[in-house]
């Protein structure tokens, strides 16, 4: 474990995941990057979230479709389509990306 000053991340509980794949490359998140996640169960439209869908976990941009009462997980890569769900579990939001130089 490494202690990170509150001035960098703010208050809350955090964990780090490693990105796999290329679905978020247009958001600057590449395969192998480490993503700092603030644990929370809600998110605003446009935030990048860690979402659990069934038995899988994914990192995508979140949008709500109030007209159709759906949740949209949007990959930031034009090669992939939006994923549309009735229900997901938000496990946190991305706050920082750590990359190799």
Q: Active-site positions?
A: 23, 60
CB 40 within 8 A of CB 51: no
Query: What is the C-alpha separation between 22 and 80, in angstroms, rounded?
Result: 9
Torsion of the alpha carbons at 16, 25, 94 and 62, rounded to the nearest 10: -140
């Amino acid at each position: 474990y490494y202690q990170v000053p509150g001035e960098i991340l703010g208050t809350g509980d955090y964990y780090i995941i490693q990105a796999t794949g290329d679905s978020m490359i247009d958001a600057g998140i590449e395969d192998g990057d480490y993503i700092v996640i603030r644990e929370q169960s809600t998110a605003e439209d446009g935030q990048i979230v860690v979402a659990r869908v069934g038995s899988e976990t994914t990192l995508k941009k979140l949008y709500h479709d109030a007209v159709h009462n759906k949740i949209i997980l949007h990959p930031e890569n034009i090669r992939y389509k939006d994923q549309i769900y009735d229900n997901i579990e938000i496990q946190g939001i991305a706050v920082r990306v750590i990359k190799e130089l």
